[in-house]
Structure 1
Amino acid sequence: MFNHLCGESALEKVVLVTSKWGRDSERDFHKREGELKGKHWKTMMDGGARVERLVSGEEQASAWGIVRSILDRVETREIHQTHAARQLRAQLEQMIEAQTQMLASEADAVAGNEEAKTQLQEQEAKVRQIAQQIENLKVSLPKRLARWIKLVMGG
């Protein structure tokens, strides 16, 4: 169904994400992932789709890793980027770095480390500032849809 909706050319832009990795469970996630890849997602994967894992207990870090891998893949395709797109990518990278630093400081801040609390507050302010900058770069919905359709159609 997905192939019919989006077309074969869109498959190389598809990322299928599996979850629950890192959980203690009797369920064999490797076996299930193999089944998904070999049976249910085989056609999509043969067309260029790829699979990423969302790790339990590390959801934020693994989600950002998936986003980063998507951005890297788009960048390597040498798609013409507007000034706004380059700015958006730089700001997203800054946000990923700030989020990573926040995660590192959070445990120390909870434990009562005052310096860590100050660093955490600074990083939270930085994330809010970057989020506002990204908001300012937003393009109207019709323009975003046109760009997305062009990207999906291989243009």
Structure 2
Amino acid sequence: MSSLRIQFVLTTLSQCDGSGRKEDSSAHGLKSDTQNVREFSVNLASDRQYVFVDTPGFDDTYRSDRDILCMVAEWLEKKYRNKVKLSGIIYTHRITDNRMSGSVCKNLDIFSALCGDSAAERVRLVTTMWDKEKDRKLSEGRVNQLEKNFWKPLLDAGARHERFNNSSVSAWEIIRSLMGEGEAVLLQEELVDVERKLNETTAGKTLNRQFQRLLFEQKETIKQLEEEAKAQKNPELVKQLEAEQQRLEAELQKTWDEMAKLKIPFFRRLVLLFSKKPQSRKIELKLPVL
């Protein structure tokens, strides 16, 4: 009897749209659903077992982006140290989304930093919710934009776009295309093979740059609110503006705190210049300014 072959498939960052959020059927609207890395096993008759791994998405309702990255990194590192490689990585995007929002672009940027070019052939960029899109011409135009712009570097590196048609047949067609030997992703190489800390990895640096952009935007918004409050004669409106300013200042402090945790000391930056480098490289995407 042949031994059971296990295929690990990571469904990373989201289940529906690449933004890490799923539609909640309750009255609360959109909110994060997956809170931890979860594994689901499926045994097939052909002595093959699939392990599907669902991860929390960024822009989570309850946890910071750094906490989410730490959680995913810890899982990836543990599996890699146990000689487990991913058979595939599935990134999903709703075809009903009429634009690439800032959060989707941000997640795609971290995704490329996490995967790296060596694992690109194991990546499936899956468009979902085709059954919800009534205007076929419009949805095909969105696919064209994704493939020729936002996803092009990933596709050029070997990733493939697949369409999920909301059926088990469609799902298994995507899964079967990922059969075969697994591949280490860039984040695993950096954490294990070259012994970097999370904040020193490409994904950690990418997240830190996103925090820096967010910090700049928050400072600019606070400055505009201060000027607007000074110019207003309406006491009630001034009160509202000041309340919003206080809220943003609290968010600003959170951003500072997250950046501090990702900061790389000067001495470590020097060491990294001369240390061993991973074989994989980040796939640089052509994204709008986030």
TM-score, normalized by length of structure 2? 0.24
- The structure with the greater share of residues assigned to helix is 1
TM-score, normalized by length of structure 1? 0.43
> Greater relative contact order (Cα 8 A, min sep 6): structure 1 or 2?
1
- The structure with the greater share of residues assigned to strand is 2
Greater gyration radius: 2
